[in-house]
Amino acid sequence: MTVHLVTGGARSGKSRFAEQLAAMAARPTEICFVATGVAMDAEMEARIARHRRDRPAEWRTLEVRHDVAKAIEDGEYKVYLIDCLSLLLNNWMFDLACTETLFWRKLDDLTAALAASSATCIVVTNEIGLGLVPADAESRRYRDWLGWMNQAIAQMADRVYFVASGIAIDLKQLPGSVVVR
């Protein structure tokens, strides 16, 4: 089991970097892209279509709206690239009307599946906690839950990359890095 977490802001280059990690880890036919995004409007449809065009055609794509843990537990592939936790959490919150109890259960299922996987798992997420405190309770809850998801995956990950302006920094390799538990 190897887990890489790739985080950063919007348009930071995190998905492109994660795809490069996947391409270095296996042959194209051994890579499964786990897409969590849902096309809710024309702009999102175009965005998803662009991502599909940009990925190698030999990669398998699974569209997984809620149960990423189940998708990687099946274990058919050498590499699973999960893009992204931010949209997965959105799906949990709004499709499943996720309570905090259900959130923690689903997060536990996901971390357990990642830990048990014999594949290389590359997980992409957004770092949204660097800005202003959101004005409404629902947005604060989303920010808090995504922060907790990111921390949980980062703690168990072998490598944690922060991507800014197309440059990836391996946070766990920085001198003096300390994992807060």
- CB within 8 Å of 154: residues ≥ 6 apart: 5, 7, 160, 171, 179
DSSP for 126-159? E--TTSPPPSSHHHHHHHHHHHHHHHHHHHH-SE
Q: Count Cβ atoms below 10 Å from residue 38 Cβ, excluding itself.
A: 15
CB-CB contact of 128 with 143 (8 Å): yes
Q: What is the pLDDT of residue 177?
A: 73
Q: What is the pLDDT of residue 141?
A: 96
Q: What is the pLDDT of residue 75?
A: 79
| From 28, 51, 104, 151, the catalytic residue | 51
How confident is the model over 25-42, as a mean pLDDT?
A: 92
Of the listed ranges 40-54, 67-81, 89-103, 159-173, the one predicted with least confidence: 40-54
Architecture of domain 2-8+18-170: 3-Layer(aba) Sandwich (3.40)
Instruction: Give percent of the chain above pLDDT 70.
Output: 98
Tell me: the pLDDT tens digits for 134-149? 889 999 999 999 999 9
Q: What is the pLDDT of residue 108?
A: 98
| For the chain, domain boundaries | 2-8+18-170
Tell me: the pLDDT tens digits for 50-89? 888 888 999 999 999 999 999 999 778 999 999 999 999 9
- 51 is known as an active-site residue: yes
**pTM value > 0.85:** yes
- CB within 8 Å of 119: residues ≥ 6 apart: 1, 72, 75, 77, 78, 79, 80
Whether the pLDDT of residue 155 is over 90: the answer is yes
How confident is the model over 100-127, as a mean pLDDT?
A: 97
